[in-house]
Structure 1
Amino acid sequence: MNDTPGSAGLHGPSCPSFPAATPLTCTVPKEFVHRAAVAEVLLTGWRRVDATHFTVTAQWPRLHGFYSAVQGRHDPLLTAETIRQAGALLSHAEFGVPLGHQFLMRDLSFTVDPRHLAVTGVPADLELDIRCSDIRRRGSELASMRYEAVLHRDGQIVATGGASFACASPAVYRRVRGERAGVKSSAHRPPMGPPVPPPDVGRAAASDVVLSPTDDAHAWRLRTDTTHPVLFDHPVDHIPGMLLIEAARQAALVTLGSGDHVLTSFTSSFDLFAELDLPCRVEAGILPEDFAGLSSVLVTGRQGDAQVFSCVVNAPRDQGLPG
């Protein structure tokens, strides 16, 4: 196991030393959460409770360059990115996964409580209670894991969620990916089509729109702007999962007919690598009502004849949410 110390007050290597009684906050090392930009690191520390139970701390900014507020509330997709980062952090810092190994996300789901998402006069400090299960090893190395998270803010549960992933060494990853391994974001890719109108998908800037219209009102072509500073924080050889979740969000908003809708839960599954050099068709449709008070939208992404991801997005039919 990696002997990196874990504590709720973890400081990054650039933080100065102060007496123990002085509470200080730094982000965790960006390498542990697979980000190139320190500004995109949401986690601030972690503490081991036992071998499969951990506490992780995080902070959401009042204003994020991409995950912007929705009706005065923090963007629900900050929850997805926080959960994603927590899994990567614990894998490296507590389960000993070497830096440079690849993480293959299988699924990621979350539900938020809009009552506790309000943007206030200070950043939102969060505490995540994380429990790991289905831990599988290949020899001494972590091969795959599932984890569930409960996110607390000011003593209230703001969100719940979970994810599962597999880990691959560089050699295994090269075998899995074949000739596509290491072909980074700058490689040949289909030209981007024009964006749908930004307000239709809750966006102010066309550069943040990830859908391009087609002749079918219920289908779009995915726009993969590999220069996007958040969705492509660093070069990769496939379409990132967070871009696919963003596509699901935008498709759901168009389907529901309002870019201002507050979306409260996402259940995502990643079936295959979404390739940068192939067009990806995103389709959406409203599901029959099976939960009181919720509208559900099924979003799928296809490349050729293969489904690469799916996501069920839920939104309260009554959008008159309490503040």
Structure 2
Amino acid sequence: MTTQTAEKSAVPEIRDIDYGRTVERSLAHRSAISEVFVTDVRTLRPMAVTAGIHLPLTHLYYSDHTQRPKLHDPLLFLEAGRQVSIVGSHVHVGIPIETVAIVNTFQFAMRNLHALEIGADFGPPRIDTDFFGAPARHSRRFRKGRLVQRIFMGDVHVGDHSMDVLFLKKHENEILRHAQRGTPAPLSSEFGEHAGLPATGRVDPELVGRDNPLNVVLAEPVVTDESVTALVVPRFDNPALFDHAYDHLPAMTLVEAARQAAVFSAGAAGRPAGRPPLPMYAAGYEAEFYRFAELDVPLTVTADRVAPGAARHTIRLRFRQGPEEIAALTVTVVDTSRMPDREESP
């Protein structure tokens, strides 16, 4: 087995980052303290910050995975990065806290997966962020922006994230939502657990790498030689996916559905008859969002099927509501049972 040296950070270590507590939850746009993962944000230079993050070891959602070795959830880093971008934009860039940020695209990839193993001691996690964009000449408002993040465990570079965002005032967002729907959008708090969609026919948790049925977001899968298509039916009482009331399915819920569909497709491809699926870890994501995912319209996700045998698969997924394709993602999954001790994943 080949052993490679882990990549080291080119950024000087910030020794005074506070890891003692998380930031005020409103700064991260969270309602529950347990869903805040940013501990401190400090300025590196104009339009650039570094942040400490907290990685909970026991969490209803982020700790619920069956693959071994047990690694930190990539979507925990993605959510932490999202929160760092929110806190940093408010405190260090000057974007008002009531601003609505709409994600258009993002790219996210984990590397050096050995440093993500729970219990390994590579040093405290942090995220370095560069913000790009300029306020409009007359209003001095930021209308859109881009951020680029590098994620570290101690000095080991473990991930990269970039995101393009549109900034709206609250009333502008309401006008946009009404224009797309033609009617006011309902809130997730107005529904029961499942928004009136089928609660039966949910995928078995082990087929999507989960133990807890609460975290399963797919139902009624249809498998062909070319694809896997399933209904997206998240539980609205899942506090990690629905920390507060939404008038749409948030982007992170669609990302979870894409992950589960990709794990289902790749795990099934290599599963002998009567055996559990392979331990797939979804390490990379690329996403484009075209429309809001409505709460009151059936949503499907379709994942390409993959051939068995490979240790890594890149899977294309498409989300549709009625005749509209509302989002497209690519997910890269890795068979962790064949993961080397050291690796430099792109």
Same fold by TM (over 0.5)? Answer: yes
Q: Is the 8 A contact 1:61 1:123 kept in 2?
A: no
Query: 1:307 Cα deviation (Å)?
Result: 1.2
**Alignment pair present for 1:30 and 2:30:** no
Q: Work out which of the residue numbers 237, 245, 254 in structure 2 matches 1:227.
A: 237
When residues 293 and 197 of structure 1 are mapped into structure 2, their CA distance, relative to the original with a 3 A threshold, is closer
Consecutive unaligned residues of structure 2, counting only runs of 5 or more, are: 1-13, 269-276, 342-346
Partner of 1:184: 187
Matching residue's letter, 1:198: P
Partner of 2:273: none
Q: Work out which of the residue numbers 36, 42, 45 in structure 2 matches 1:47.
A: 42
Q: Is the 8 A contact 2:100 2:170 kept in 1?
A: yes
Deviations along 1:174-201, one digit per CA (max 9) or x if unpaired, are 2111266563113353423421010000
Q: Is the 8 A contact 2:130 2:148 kept in 1?
A: yes
**Alignment pair present for 1:245 and 2:255:** yes
Partner of 2:7: none
Partner of 2:128: 129
When residues 238 and 205 of structure 1 are mapped into structure 2, their CA distance, relative to the original with a 3 A threshold, is same
**Alignment pair present for 1:201 and 2:220:** no
Q: Name the SS for the 1:186 alignment partner.
A: helix
Partner of 2:313: 295
Query: 1:144 Cα deviation (Å)?
Result: 1.4
Matching residue's letter, 2:129: I
Number of residue pairs matched by the alignment: 303
Consecutive unaligned residues of structure 1, counting only runs of 5 or more, are: 1-6, 11-22
Identity rate of aligned residues, in percent? 25
Partner of 1:142: 142
| Structure 1 ranges of 4+ moved more than 3 A | 7-10, 121-124, 134-138, 179-182, 187-190, 214-217, 316-319
Matching residue's letter, 2:128: D
Q: Distance in 2 between matches of 1:46 and 1:186?
A: 32
Q: Is the 8 A contact 2:319 2:328 kept in 1?
A: yes
Query: 1:247 Cα deviation (Å)?
Result: 0.3
Query: 1:108 Cα deviation (Å)?
Result: 2.3
Q: Is the 8 A contact 2:311 2:338 kept in 1?
A: no
- TM-score w.r.t. the length of structure 1 is 0.85
Greater RCO, CA 8 A, separation 6+: 2
Q: Is the 8 A contact 1:212 1:220 kept in 2?
A: yes
Q: Is the 8 A contact 1:136 1:145 kept in 2?
A: no
Query: 1:27 Cα deviation (Å)?
Result: 0.8
Partner of 1:18: none
Q: Is the 8 A contact 2:203 2:218 kept in 1?
A: yes
Deviations along 1:202-242, one digit per CA (max 9) or x if unpaired, are 11121110000244451000003222111001001000111
Q: Is the 8 A contact 1:80 1:108 kept in 2?
A: no
Q: Please, what is the CA RMSD of the aligned residues? A: 2.6
Q: Work out which of the residue numbers 51, 54, 70 in structure 2 matches 1:56.
A: 51
Q: Distance in 1 between matches of 2:123 and 2:76?
A: 11
Q: Distance in 1 between matches of 2:55 and 2:253?
A: 19
Partner of 1:271: 290
When residues 122 and 236 of structure 1 are mapped into structure 2, their CA distance, relative to the original with a 3 A threshold, is farther
Of 184-193 and 144-153, more deviation after overlay is shown by 184-193
Q: Distance in 2 between matches of 1:24 and 1:119?
A: 18
Q: Is the 8 A contact 2:280 2:336 kept in 1?
A: no
When residues 260 and 136 of structure 1 are mapped into structure 2, their CA distance, relative to the original with a 3 A threshold, is farther
**Alignment pair present for 1:210 and 2:217:** yes
Q: Is the 8 A contact 1:298 1:313 kept in 2?
A: yes
Query: 1:76 Cα deviation (Å)?
Result: 1.3
**Alignment pair present for 1:85 and 2:83:** yes
